[in-house]
Amino acid sequence: MKAFVALEDGTVFEGRGFGLEGEKEGEIVFNTSMTGYQEIMTDPSYKGQIVTMTYPLIGNYGVNDEDVESGGPRVEGFIAREFSRITSNWRATGDLGDYFRKHNIIAVDEIDTRALTRHLRVRGVMRGIISTTDHDRDSLVRKAQGSRGIVGVDLVSGVTCGAPYEFEDGPGGDPAVDALHCVVMDFGVKRNILRILRQKGCRVTVVPAGTKAEDIIAMRPDGVLLSNGPGDPEAVPYAIREIEKLIGRVPIFGICLGQQLLGLALGGRTYKLKFGHRGANQPIRETATGKVYITSENHGFAVDVDSIGGQAVRVTHINLNDGTAEGIEHEKYPAFSVQYHPEASPGPHDSYGLFEKFRNMMESSRKEGNA
């Protein structure tokens, strides 16, 4: 089945359809991870995006029911050099082709992903179309140019939960009666974040992105976690307003989009990166110690820390590839965030300590409240 990938700048790649027939628009991005394709597909942060995998063979270990980060795939489409037709892994419960068809994902392989990635690195990520039904190159380019993109678009509302719920999955067991209570603002949260909070002994309540600050405070949380999520942070002003009201009232920990929203709530600005950080090999330096972490990331926007005026905020982590702020912390209030995913464990587990830091903040806050 012939398929095409068309970019808004007129570049077109021809390949083979693998999965659902049809057509899909989205922002064309690339991810440099060698494994984890199922986690990537189900990460709500990829809403609105068509993901290109730079590793040449995708799908050889199949899919299973455990390596998912949400209720199902969130990507708009998937591109690879080769999708494996052979599945070989003791944990596999299915193959990738069936997974694509079951979840209505349009996928294309036999694409020169090296050339596509190099093009995006030079020109920047851009709007695009993948199609197995329209083979007219000029038509596809026009469709790509007319697609909406993600700048200024609220993608969070399409991935957040519909109502508050208690998260009870994972190996943490039933939390103690006096367990720390963490409220997670769901902007597209990954399940492993919730699992780790449970492992740390927390009772976890997940609330929709538009939940009012006063309603969160009424839940008597020991801390609030601002989750990861998709798209342009400035397109969710309703969340920014409520986060601003929470600062100084309860310990806050932001992850990925959560960092961007925290930065905006502190009065700063965000900006779009040329091609973003997406992969499991991003080198991050901790400013206080000089220690370097290898991290997993997925974001296309960053916080302009210099734009945060009138607030005592320091940069805690820096991306060694481009110098962007990968972590910030308020020097007066118990609020900090990181741009990368400390729950993702791309080999090392070094960043798990951030969850312990958050727990310590919550414990200190509780003690002060009881004093």
Find out whether 228 and 189 touch, Cβ atoms under 8 Å. yes
Find out whether 156 and 20 touch, Cβ atoms under 8 Å. no
Q: What is the mean pLDDT of residues 32-52?
A: 96
The pLDDT value recorded for residue 344 is 72
Confidence of residue 240 (pLDDT cuts 50, 70, 90): very high
Find out whether 225 and 258 touch, Cβ atoms under 8 Å. yes
In angstroms, the CA 294 to CA 344 distance is 11
Q: Is 202 part of the annotated catalytic residue set?
A: no
H or E stretch at 55: none
**pLDDT of 333 over the 90 cut:** yes
Single-letter residue type at 25: E
Cα 173 → chain centroid:
26
Burial of 363 (C-beta count, 10 Å sphere; 0-12/13-18/19+): middle
The closest alpha carbon to 295, from 251, 256, 263, 262, belongs to 256
Task: Please tell me which residue in 119, 277, 299, 341 is annotated as part of the active site.
Answer: 341
In angstroms, the CA 146 to CA 22 distance is 18
Percent of the chain whose pLDDT exceeds 90: 90
Find out whether 361 and 251 touch, Cβ atoms under 8 Å. yes
Q: pLDDT per residue over 282-318, tens digit each?
A: 999 999 999 999 999 999 999 999 999 878 999 999 9
The pLDDT value recorded for residue 351 is 75
Task: Please tell me which residue in 8, 256, 326, 330 is annotated as part of the active site.
Answer: 256
Give the residue carrying structure tokens 């607030």.
Answer: 311
Q: What is the mean pLDDT of residues 7-30?
A: 95
Confidence of residue 370 (pLDDT cuts 50, 70, 90): low
Q: Is 341 part of the annotated catalytic residue set?
A: yes
Q: pLDDT per residue over 273-284, tens digit each?
A: 999 999 998 999
For the chain, the domains span 2-146, 156-370
Q: Is 119 part of the annotated catalytic residue set?
A: no
**pLDDT of 352 over the 90 cut:** no
Confidence of residue 360 (pLDDT cuts 50, 70, 90): very high
| Beta strands, E only, 209-347 | 223-226, 252-255, 269-286, 292-304, 313-319, 325-330, 335-338
Q: What is the mean pLDDT of residues 5-27?
A: 95
CATH class of 156-370: alpha beta
Find out whether 358 and 223 touch, Cβ atoms under 8 Å. yes
Provide the pairing of β-strand 165-167 with 223-226: unpaired
DSSP letter for each residue of 135-202? --HHHHHHHHHHS--STT---GGGTS-SS-EEE--STT-SPPTT--EEEEEESS--HHHHHHHHHTT-
Residue 122: partners with Cβ closer than 8 Å, 6 or more residues away: none
Q: pLDDT per residue over 132-190, tens digit each?
A: 999 999 999 999 999 999 999 999 999 999 999 999 876 555 666 679 999 999 999 99
The pLDDT value recorded for residue 343 is 87
As a CATH number, domain 2-146 is 3.50.30.20
The three state secondary structure string of 198-244 is HHCCCEEEEEECCCCHHHHHHCCCCEEEECCCCCCHHHCHHHHHHHH
Percent of the chain whose pLDDT exceeds 70: 96
